[in-house]
Amino acid sequence: MELSETQQDSLTELINIGYGRAAGALSELTGYRVSLEVPKVAIHDIDRIGPVLQEILGDSVASVDQGFSGPVSGSAVLLLDEASALVLGRLLSEGASPSTEFDANAREIITEVGNILLNACLGVFGNLLRIPVTFAVPRLQLETVPKLLQTITQKSPEQLSHGLMIHTRFHVKTGDVVGYLIIVLGIASLDRLLAELDQWEARQMQ
């Protein structure tokens, strides 16, 4: 299955809004500007997504993934490499205990940040497109990418053979924090999403 150019365009614009809000939230949290790259939208074989992610990110990651379900279901993931996670943790813990390792405090902070960002992101489905999605509890993991992907695909309610992957890279303007925001959807959900998008447009432009 392939996305037409128009579909790709529409999805990119929609996600731009979502990622923009997430970046805005992160900016408010940290007090620094956050810059976002242009989101990339593509359909991959489910086995290909892992390797693609790995290429982008390298090996060890701190990730917060949040599953969502409803008419549209999938996972949204915040990915950081360990160094970035530590810096982000420091930025947000008021120098209470400047840790050099990923301790419990740091873990909590990252999970919380993930929660905020991913909600901001996925909020576009709910409050923009009016698709009622429910969110699972965000989960922090410190794992390599393939393992992460395994857990994402395993717990998805849909049988994933292909995934729509939307990802972008962001920088917090202190320069030391680089992360990725990723959304993975199964094909049935993608179809549904596209249908909802069409309807949303139709409702407006009457």
Residues in contact with other proteins by CB under 8 A are: 6, 9-10, 13-14, 16-17, 20-21, 23-24, 27-36, 92-94, 96-97, 104-105, 108-109, 112-113, 116, 127-128, 173, 197, 201, 204-205
Interatomic CA distance for residues 30 and 114, integer angstroms: 13
Give the residue with the Cβ less far from other proteins, 14 or 149: 14
Give the residue with the Cβ less far from other proteins, 82 or 196: 196
Cβ burial of 1 (10 Å; 0-12, 13-18, 19+) is exposed
* Cα–Cα separations (whole angstroms), residue 123 to 14, 19, 146, 149, 196: 11, 10, 27, 23, 15
State the nearest-atom distance from the C-beta of 60 to other proteins, in Å: 24
State the nearest-atom distance from the C-beta of 44 to other proteins, in Å: 23
Question: Which pair of structure tokens corresponds to residue 67?
Answer: 């599953």
Question: Interior CA angle at 166 toward 105 and 46, to 5°?
Answer: 95
Interatomic CA distance for residues 94 and 76, integer angstroms: 28
Region for residue 6 given its phi and psi (left: phi exceeds 0; alpha: psi -120 to 50; beta: otherwise): alpha
Give the residue with the Cβ less far from other proteins, 127 or 154: 127
State the nearest-atom distance from the C-beta of 6 to other proteins, in Å: 5
Give the residue with the Cβ less far from other proteins, 34 or 85: 34
State the nearest-atom distance from the C-beta of 45 to other proteins, in Å: 27
State the nearest-atom distance from the C-beta of 160 to other proteins, in Å: 26
Give the residue with the Cβ less far from other proteins, 55 or 101: 101
